[in-house]
Structure 1
């Protein structure tokens, strides 16, 4: 197994819980955000951390998810819904339950794409989310 370039089978992906996929997707999404900020020179120093936090919070993820939902395939939408409908036990006070569930759906999708080895599609969706930022 190459952990930098994972390529899990459909059966292996189905065996991972929605929360597990969202856990992976959280890291993938934050890495993309940090890369995007550095490449575009959007922030430096202390502001870099603040801007990252603003883009990875549940409210922003829920907003950005709405931009790409119409572009998802049936399979991707099913993965998003799997994450959105996951039974989460802790929710931040800064987000509504709907926002948190939508953010979890987005993270689940990003984790699923990464673990199946489809970084190109994850990149395509991320670009669509960040177009107006």
Structure 2
């Protein structure tokens, strides 16, 4: 069976000329995270509404914060710094949401966005690690 993140090999991102800020990286990382989970669910049959609901559950801030917690031991100091920069720029988040979880989720998204642009092999490695420990 192919690794869960082998879809990255087909994408050839072009890093922007100027370095993106943490919130732009988080915005991009959010799309990467959702696409990753949508592609996982495309591998099995199911109604689109049901598959969508499954994806919604894993792209929520609390689920992303949990994913970041599971990745923590795998991250380098530079990657932790990217997470911290994203987390610190996150703001409060939705009114009813947990501000801490929202910050952690934004940090994860910033990391994913940066890795997508600059180190797609590392991105695939981390996404595959998550898939291995929590299939």
Question: TM-score scaled by structure 1?
Answer: 0.83
> Does residue 120 of structure 1 match 2:121?
yes
Structure 1: stretches of 5+ with no match in the other structure: none
Task: Determine which of 109, 112, 120 is the counterpart of 2:111.
Answer: 109
Q: CA RMSD in A?
A: 2.0
CA shift digits 1:63-82 (9 cap, x unpaired): 11101011011111111111
In the TM superposition, what is the alpha-carbon distance from 1:94 to its structure 2 partner?
Answer: 4.8
Shift, 1:51, TM fit: 0.3
Number of residue pairs aligned between Structure 1 and Structure 2:
124
Contact 1:22 1:111 in 2 (8 A): yes
- Cα gap change, 1:37/1:99 in structure 2, threshold over 3 Å: closer, same or farther? same
Match of residue 60 from structure 2: 57
CA distance change for structure 1 residues 49 and 72 in 2, over 3 Å: closer, same or farther?
same
Measure, in 2, the Cα distance between the counterparts of 1:38 and 1:67. 24
Change (3 A) 1:87 1:100: closer
For residues 122 and 96 of structure 2, the distance between their equivalents in structure 1, rounded to whole angstroms, comes to 30
Determine the structure 2 residue equivalent to 1:35.
39
Match of 1:18?
22
Indicate conservation of the 8 Å contact 1:83/1:108, yes or no.
yes
Question: Which whole-Å deviations, capped at 9, do the CAs of 1:54-113 have from their partners, x for residues lacking one?
Answer: 01000100011101011011111111111011142x612453111000000000000001
Structure 2 gap segments, 5+ residues each: 1-10
SS at match of 2:15: coil
- 1:42: how far off? 7.2
**What is the CA-CA distance between 1:119 and the residue it aligns to?**
1.5
Distance 1:43 1:64 in 2: 24
